[in-house]
Amino acid sequence: MMLVPCPWCGPRNVAEFRYVGESSARPDPATTSASDWRTYLYTRRNPCDWIKETWYHRMGCRQYFGLERHTMTNRTRPAESSR
Ligand SMILES: [Zn+2]
C-alpha cells in the first residue's frame, strides 16, 4: 500500500486520491507554437528520478496539492514550493 502525504490530512491510502499528473510550467499561449503546445499537453519526461506531481484528495479534504515522488521507489516528499 502506498501512502500519500496530504498537507491537510496527513498520510492516507493512495486509494483516497486522484493522480492529476506531472506538474510542468505552462507556456505562454501568445507566443507558443502548436508544436510546443502539443509537447506541453502530451509529452512527459518519464525519468527515473524525483518528479513534481499534482494530486487531488477526492475522499478527504478535496484539495489539490503538489508533491514530489520518486518514480522508481514511489517514495514521496512535499513539493519544493510547499516546503
Ligand atoms: Zn486531504
Q: What is the pLDDT of residue 83?
A: 43
Q: Looking at the DSSP assignment, which residues form a beta bridge with residue 51?
A: 69
CA 73 to chain centroid = 16
User: What pLDDT sits at residue 45?
Assistant: 84
Residues, CB within 5 angstroms of ligand 1 (ion): 6, 8-9, 57, 60-61
pTM: 0.82
Rounded CA gap, 7 and 81, in Å?
Answer: 12
**75: closest CA among 58, 56, 51?**
51
Q: Which residue do the cell numbers 501512502 mark?
A: 3
Which is nearest to 17 in space by CA: 53, 71, 70? Answer: 53
pLDDT of residue 81: 61
Q: How far is the CA of 69 from the centre of ligand 1 (A)?
A: 17
pLDDT in tens, 9-51: 999 999 999 999 998 889 999 999 999 999 999 998 889 999 9
